[in-house]
Amino acid sequence: MVHLPITVPRPLHTIFRPVTTLLMGSSISSSSGAPGSPIGSNLAVPAPPTAKTAYFAAGCFWGVESAFRRRFPPLTSGLLDTRVGYIGGNTPSPTYRAVCTGVTGHAEALEVLYDPAKLRYEELVEFFFRMHDPSDKGGQGPDRGSQYRSAIFTNSANEEKVAREIRRRVEERWYKGREIATEVARKGKWWGAEEYHQVYLDKNPNGYECPSHFVRNFQTVLDTSIDGTDEVAAELPKPESKV
Helix (H, G, I), strand (E, B) or coil at 68: helix
* 100 labelled catalytic: no
| 102 contacts: CB under 8 Å, gap ≥ 6 | 145, 146, 147
Longest dimension (CA), the chain: 52
Q: Which of 58, 60, 201, 221 is flagged as catalytic?
A: 60
CB neighbours of residue 78 within 10 Å: 18
Q: Answer whether 197's CB lies under 8 Å from 61's CB.
A: yes
CB neighbours of residue 112 within 10 Å: 24
* Rounded Cα distance, 190 and 70, in Å: 24
Q: Answer whether 30's CB lies under 8 Å from 194's CB.
A: no
DSSP alpha helix (H) spans, the chain: 19-24, 61-71, 96-100, 121-130, 157-173, 200-203
CB neighbours of residue 182 within 10 Å: 26
| 23 contacts: CB under 8 Å, gap ≥ 6 | none
Residues designated catalytic:
60
